[in-house]
Amino acid sequence: MLIPIDSETISAVLFDAGGTLVHVDYQVFIDAASARGFEIDDRELRLAEAAARIAIDRRGEKSRGPIGTDSSRLKAYFEGLLAMSEIPAEAASEIAAEVSVSHHAENIWRIPMPDAVETLCGLRERGVRTAVVSNADGRAETALGNAGLTHYLEFVVDSHFEGVEKPDPEIFRRALRRFELPAERVVYIGDIYSIDAVGARAGGLLPVIIDPTGTYHGLDCPIIRSLRELLEPVNAGRS
């Protein structure tokens, strides 16, 4: 599947925030685990996080959609990530609780993804507009600002303020109204198929999954390994 990202074919690109423009500060997990005698590193956590995304999709398939809200799934997401790093369940639960406290104090999705600034700048130079639609807790715009990214975005749609979250297509429709653009002229980049791709497609947008670890296979939408691929003359999706 080919996706030419230029102003002749695509008017705007919407991005997810966490896992797409910014990633978790893995040091928070590393420090909490180390304090309990467990050694993990960035690479383990990246792979574990990728597996945790697949697990969300599988649970969504069984229940015909995500269970609960983004915030209610957070601690379980952290626990699953740690368990996939082979930390015993009891310790994983304790570490996840500590990380959750840290996250509530200061958003831990705060490290810019590689090439985030370059990609946002490059798209805007081509006349392609950029913004964010995120399932978040009211802090998405602040987190993106702290990461130095809001300067390159027209707006941030945060589910906390909207009262609706992905995969409900309504949150995408609200972003389209702010752009004053038809859905077929907008691409959405996210990292969890059952939430991001399913929701974006239901809203009429073209979904693209970012998968830095190459974990996803056989999806019915394009996959990119890095944001920089959006700047290629024509982006080949992999399945």
Mean per-residue pLDDT, 109-135: 96
Amino acid at position 3, single letter: I
* pLDDT at residue 72 in the model: 66
C-alpha distance from residue 192 to each of 50, 112, 123, 135, 221 (Å): 9, 18, 23, 12, 12
Report which secondary-structure segment, H or E, holds 118.
helix 116-125
User: What residues have CB less than 8 Å from 146, skipping those under 6 apart?
Assistant: 110
Percent of the chain with pLDDT over 90: 77
Length of the chain: 239
How far is 45 from 84, CA to CA, in rounded Å?
8
13-40 confidence digits (pLDDT tens):
999 999 999 999 999 999 999 999 999 9
CATH architecture of 2-23+110-236: 3-Layer(aba) Sandwich (3.40)
Does residue 131 contact residue 149 with C-beta atoms inside 8 Å?
no
Domain definitions of the chain by residue range: 2-23+110-236, 26-107
Secondary structure class of 231 (helix, strand, coil): helix
Query: Bridge partners of 236?
Result: 2
Of 118, 111, 116, which is closest to residue 132 (Cα–Cα)? 116
How far is 189 from 17, CA to CA, in rounded Å?
9
Mean per-residue pLDDT, 184-204: 97
pTM tops 0.75, yes or no: yes
The answer on pLDDT for 143 being more than 70 is yes
The torsion of the CA quartet 216, 220, 224, 225, rounded to 10 degrees, works out to 10
Amino acid at position 98, single letter: E
* pLDDT at residue 238 in the model: 42
